[in-house]
């Protein structure tokens, strides 16, 4: 299973923050496949729309840090039955400029902390309210309202009680599992959108245009192609040059479409299998050929997009000769 990257935002700026201690303890009890990093929010100037054209460097840094993570865990103290201003400011900065909500679709978790017996509920739910507009799915259960926080930690900020440790560990494994579920559902949706692009790229290819392929093939590393006329090509560069060469054998005016029998994505790997039907014109003579290929393709999400890492195409039995 690929590593899941969780950003942790702490809504207290003070050095001896109980909320930060709780955040550190939670991060330390996360499952091994989880990479937690703390995003600092204390240096973000107050959000002011006038600065959107030339944003402060810390805003740009913070937004890029959000983009680099799969999920966000918010740890918040309660100020006046709501969240501290610094945390609301961070939420506002990350959600802008207009149309560039960096939190969009990211799975979120909320843990709220108070030194009192009663508290932390108001902050927790005030933060959840912002997720509606931010379009952040938030884990519902388990909820985490950490009361009496001043008595939880020993002199080294370790958790004193086994019961709290078990609660924290359970929270982190539930959050990791839930965030993975949201991330992989989003990847599946993304892959099904990508399949339209893949089909268009194939249509361009049988019209002699290999250029659109550039966006969906890996530049380096693993790749393979088993073409209909036998043999196989291996390695990213070799495969790309073979695709280029094949495209040159087609004249403009060809068309292609996929009959997808099965398709899906899990994590960073996607696939489809089925038939590719193409009406192509070959070479200078513009000889018309109809092809019905049995195709299986594998894709990996890398270099910021889905990349074709394997194509196997052979003539289906009913190809007209």
Where on the chain is the footprint of ligand FNR (CB under 6 A)?
12, 14, 17-19, 77-81, 113-116, 119-120
The H or E element containing residue 169 is helix 162-205
| Minimum gap (Å) between residue 119 Cβ and ligand FNR | 2
**Nearest CB to ligand FNR, comparing residues 10 and 309:** 10
**Nearest CB to ligand FNR, comparing residues 85 and 253:** 85
**Nearest CB to ligand FNR, comparing residues 12 and 207:** 12
Grouping H, G, I as helix, E, B as strand and the rest as coil, residue 286 is coil
**Nearest CB to ligand FNR, comparing residues 16 and 163:** 16
Structure tokens at 166: 């078990």
Angle at CA of residue 278, ends 277 and 283, nearest 5°: 155
| Minimum gap (Å) between residue 75 Cβ and ligand FNR | 8
Ordered strands of the 269-282 beta sheet: 233-234, 224-226, 305-315, 287-302, 269-282, 250-266
d(CA 94, CA 59): 8
d(CA 88, CA 91): 5
**Nearest CB to ligand FNR, comparing residues 80 and 262:** 80
What are the C-alpha distances in Å from 78 to residues 119, 120, 147, 246, 315? Answer: 7, 5, 11, 64, 66
| Minimum gap (Å) between residue 80 Cβ and ligand FNR | 5
DSSP 8-class letter at 44: P
| Minimum gap (Å) between residue 243 Cβ and ligand FNR | 56
Phi, psi angle pair for 284, to nearest 5°? -70, -30
| Minimum gap (Å) between residue 8 Cβ and ligand FNR | 13
């Amino acid at each position: 299973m690929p590593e899941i990257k969780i950003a942790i935002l702490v809504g207290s700026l003070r050095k001896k923050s109980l909320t930060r201690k709780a955040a550190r303890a939670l991060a330390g009890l996360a499952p091994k496949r989880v990479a937690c990093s703390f995003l600092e929010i204390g240096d973000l100037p107050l959000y002011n729309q006038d600065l959107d054209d030339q944003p402060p460097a810390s805003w740009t840094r913070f937004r890029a840090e959000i983009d680099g993570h799969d999920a966000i865990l918010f740890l918040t103290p309660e100020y006046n039955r709501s969240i501290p201003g610094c945390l609301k400011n961070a939420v506002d900065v990350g959600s802008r400029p207009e149309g560039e909500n960096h939190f969009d679709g990211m799975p979120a978790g909320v843990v709220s902390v108070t030194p009192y017996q009663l508290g932390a509920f108001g902050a927790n739910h005030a933060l959840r309210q912002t997720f509606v507009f931010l379009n952040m799915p938030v884990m519902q259960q388990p909820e985490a309202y950490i009361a009496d926080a001043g008595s939880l930690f020993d002199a080294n900020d370790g958790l004193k009680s086994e019961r709290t440790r078990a609660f924290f560990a359970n929270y982190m494994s539930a959050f990791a599992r839930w965030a993975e579920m949201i991330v992989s559902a989003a990847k599946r949706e993304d892959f099904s959108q990508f399949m339209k692009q893949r089909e268009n790229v194939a249509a361009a290819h049988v019209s002699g245009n290999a250029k659109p392929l550039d966006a969906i093939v890996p530049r380096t590393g693993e790749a393979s192609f088993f073409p209909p006329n036998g043999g196989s090509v291996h390695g990213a560069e070799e495969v790309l040059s073979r695709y280029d060469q094949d495209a040159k054998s087609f004249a403009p005016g060809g068309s292609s479409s996929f009959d997808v029998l099965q398709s899906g994505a899990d994590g960073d790997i996607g696939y489809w299998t089925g038939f590719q039907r193409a009406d192509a014109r070959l070479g200078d003579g513009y000889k018309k050929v109809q092809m019905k290929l049995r195709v299986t393709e594998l894709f990996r999400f890398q270099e910021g997009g889905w990349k074709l890492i394997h194509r196997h195409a052979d003539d289906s039995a009913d190809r007209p000769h």
